[in-house]
């Protein structure tokens, strides 16, 4: 009997990694399905699924450390694909707010933590430690939330990514300073200078070599026409760059993002993204399960009062700071609030800083446990906080009645009365907006564009296109477009909250206005009709019709037959929804 038990233990030990993987993916599958059934973010289901298996299964059944190693792979692939979807041009657009605003956000959040630390009766050094812990947001969580909402390529998506990059870069000086405060380093400035010099040198070498070597390597591998070799090359680039970055004292997240950013500059970026996406989706889910496994429900119940107070102070404080700082750089209230909401959680790298403080005897064990639990709670609440954006933005806009920052360089000039009559108001200058303006130009019809991206407004003004800077969902901004004399309004933003608010406010300004609204997802169609939109367009369905048209055309079906079929399908779809 004992022999059979021993053999069983050996088998379990040999299959331990597979068992951990199966349990983690199973928990994510069940948790995600339940969350979607309840119309909650799937990310929340992954976290709760991890918490359940972490608190109910013994260490002999699932190894948390092994799961966390797999989770690091998820971090690498998620940030790698993010970099491959961005471009250096996108980051240059937000360089001022990212660099100067990001540094200001870190410093002010440290001051916030210093104040909270004093309330916990911590000494000055421990309070600074605590401030640094809460100054870092979770790059993985924030990017996942924005990506799931389809908002990476938006003003708030780009600004948020810039803030997170600056936070990742700040980890090196934070570690040096905090180690010095703990008495482990004799010469703070020398250590800080050496660490920063090493980091800067590595980044420069990576940028120079990456821009030349990565495209050359991918071209040679692609020429071999072997999909397996191409996938292996992409995975090697992502993992090796992240590993080297970690070894020089920076973060895995920063290294993998940098590798993706360099790949973006090559002609193979789309192929690279397509190959990595399945790996990203699986391993990023494991990351969130691993975070959930760290949550101790018993500790939370025992300290519920103090934890709720701490979490509330941190999340509200980071929201206010992130929103205010972004607003100071001339962005709209809508963009600023979404950036602030994206930063409210405490990052997973804060765990490393906290462990440094505990090992040095600077940070009490009780505060370490509270910080760990608080960080996990903020991560769990983060997707729910983002869902409150519509209510919060609407309230702030009513309270301030502002869509642009007074006196800012982006403030729009007065438009002539002749221009703003019998015109089309285009809210959002994405792909749909650009195509519409091109067609209107060829026909000589008047139009006016409203967009909240300062770079888009500069581009429009340089081209002589009439435009207004501000949030198209804001009542005050829409009022400047003279909707009472407009022919129609086209609401073309990709954010469902903004589309709903813009439609509602446009109808409030002119109840007889003809409104055409872009439905970011099928569930929004009925809601938009209820707000007064005369026509609601489902972009995914329209793309499907175009595919049907091309397919039938290849089989020789005549154009009139195809058009008749598309008309019937369109009528059935829009009547059903």
Burial class (CB in 10 A: 0-12, 13-18, 19+), 56: exposed
Instruction: Count the neighbouring beta carbons within 10 Å of the beta carbon of residue 379.
Output: 27
Give the integer Cα–Cα distance in Å for 6 and 377: 40
The closest of 54, 21, 288 to 148, measured between CA atoms, is 288
Provide the pLDDT for residue 340: 93
Give all domains of the chain, ordered by start, each with its CATH number.
Answer: 64-387 (1.20.1530.20), 424-537 (3.40.50.720)
Give the integer Cα–Cα distance in Å for 546 and 346: 44
**Which residue reads 């019709």 in tokens?**
545
Provide the pLDDT for residue 317: 93
| Structural contact between residues 181 and 128, judged by C-beta atoms closer than 8 angstroms | yes
Provide the pLDDT for residue 319: 93
pLDDT, tens digit only, all 577 positions of the chain: 454 444 445 445 567 788 888 888 898 899 888 888 887 778 778 888 888 888 887 666 777 778 878 888 887 887 787 777 666 666 677 778 888 999 999 999 999 988 888 888 888 888 888 888 899 898 878 888 888 777 777 888 888 988 988 887 787 677 767 766 665 545 656 666 766 677 677 777 777 777 778 878 888 888 888 878 888 888 888 888 888 887 876 767 777 877 887 787 677 777 777 778 788 888 888 888 887 887 778 888 888 888 888 899 999 999 999 999 998 888 888 888 999 999 998 887 777 677 777 777 777 877 878 887 888 888 888 888 888 887 787 777 666 654 444 334 344 455 555 556 789 999 999 888 999 999 999 888 999 999 988 878 888 888 888 898 888 888 888 888 888 889 999 999 887 778 888 998 899 899 999 999 988 777 778 888 888 888 899 888 888 999 998 999 899 888 889 889 988 998 888 876 6
Provide the pLDDT for residue 90: 63
The closest of 452, 464, 512 to 488, measured between CA atoms, is 512
Q: Which residues contact 390 (CB under 8 A, 6 or more apart)?
A: 497, 500, 501
| Structural contact between residues 334 and 471, judged by C-beta atoms closer than 8 angstroms | yes
SS3 labels along 189-225: HHHHHHHHHHHHHHHHHHHHHHHHHHHHHHHHHHHCC
Instruction: Give the 3-state secondary structure of residue 469.
Output: strand
Give the integer Cα–Cα distance in Å for 515 and 424: 10
Give the integer Cα–Cα distance in Å for 154 and 428: 10
Q: Phi and psi dihedrals of 447, rounded to 5?
A: -150, 165
| Structural contact between residues 342 and 146, judged by C-beta atoms closer than 8 angstroms | yes
Provide the pLDDT for residue 86: 66
Give the integer Cα–Cα distance in Å for 105 and 405: 19
């Amino acid at each position: 009997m004992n022999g059979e038990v021993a053999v069983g233990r050996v088998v379990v030990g040999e299959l331990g990694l597979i068992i951990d993987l199966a349990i983690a993916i199973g928990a994510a599958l069940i948790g995600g399905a339940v969350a979607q059934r309840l119309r909650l973010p799937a990310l929340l289901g992954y976290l709760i699924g991890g918490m359940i298996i972490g608190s109910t299964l013994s260490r002999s059944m699932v190894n948390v450390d092994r799961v966390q190693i797999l989770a690091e792979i998820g971090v690498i692939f998620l940030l790698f694909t993010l970099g491959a979807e961005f471009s250096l041009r996108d980051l240059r657009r937000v360089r001022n707010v990212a660099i100067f605003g990001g540094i200001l956000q870190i410093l002010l959040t440290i001051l916030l933590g210093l104040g909270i630390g004093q309330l916990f009766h911590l000494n000055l050094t421990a309070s600074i430690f605590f401030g640094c812990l809460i100054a870092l947001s979770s790059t993985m969580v924030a990017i996942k939330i924005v990506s799931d909402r389809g908002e990476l390529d938006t003003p708030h998506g780009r600004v948020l990514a810039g803030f997170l990059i600056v936070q990742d870069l700040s980890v090196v000086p934070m570690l040096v300073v905090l180690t010095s405060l703990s008495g482990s380093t004799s010469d703070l400035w020398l250590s800080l200078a050496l660490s920063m010099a090493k980091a800067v040198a590595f980044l420069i070498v990576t940028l120079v070599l990456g821009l030349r070597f990565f495209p050359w390597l991918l071209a040679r591998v692609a020429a071999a026409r072997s999909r397996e070799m191409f996938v292996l090359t992409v995975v090697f680039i992502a993992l090796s760059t992240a590993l080297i970055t970690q070894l020089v004292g920076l973060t895995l997240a920063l290294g993998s993002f940098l590798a993706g950013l360099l790949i973006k500059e090559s002609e193979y970026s789309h192929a690279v993204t397509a190959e990595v996406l399945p790996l990203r989706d699986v391993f990023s889910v494991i990351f969130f399960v691993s975070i959930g496994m760290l949550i101790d429900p018993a500790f939370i119940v025992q300290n519920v009062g103090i934890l709720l107070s701490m979490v509330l102070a941190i999340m509200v404080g980071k929201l206010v700071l992130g929103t205010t700082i972004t607003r100071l750089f001339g962005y709209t209230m809508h963009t600023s609030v979404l950036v602030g909401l994206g930063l409210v959680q405490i990052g997973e790298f804060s765990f490393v800083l906290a462990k440094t403080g505990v090992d040095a005897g600077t940070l009490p064990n009780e505060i370490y446990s509270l910080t760990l639990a608080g960080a996990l709670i903020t991560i769990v609440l983060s997707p729910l906080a983002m869902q409150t954006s519509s209510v919060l933005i609407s309230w702030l806009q009513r309270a301030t009645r502002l869509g642009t920052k007074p006196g800012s360089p982006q403030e729009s000039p007065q438009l002539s009365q002749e221009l703003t009559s019998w015109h089309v108001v285009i809210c959002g200058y994405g792909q749909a907006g650009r195509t519409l303006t091109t067609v209107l130009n060829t026909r000589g019809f008047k139009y006016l564009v409203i967009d909240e991206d300062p770079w888009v407004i500069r581009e429009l003004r340089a081209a002589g296109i009439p435009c207004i800077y501000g949030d198209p969902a804001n009542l005050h901004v829409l009022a400047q477009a003279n909707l009472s004399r407009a022919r129609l309004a086209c609401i073309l933003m990709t954010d469902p909250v903004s589309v709903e608010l813009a439609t509602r406010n446009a109808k409030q300004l002119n109840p007889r206005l003809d409104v055409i609204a872009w439905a970011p997802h099928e569930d929004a169609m009925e809601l938009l009709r209820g707000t007064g939109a005369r026509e609601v367009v489902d972009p995914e369905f329209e793309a499907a019709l175009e595919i049907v048209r091309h397919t039938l055309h290849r089989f020789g079906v005549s154009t009139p037959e195809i058009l008749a079929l598309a008309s019937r399908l369109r009528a059935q779809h829009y009547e059903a929804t």
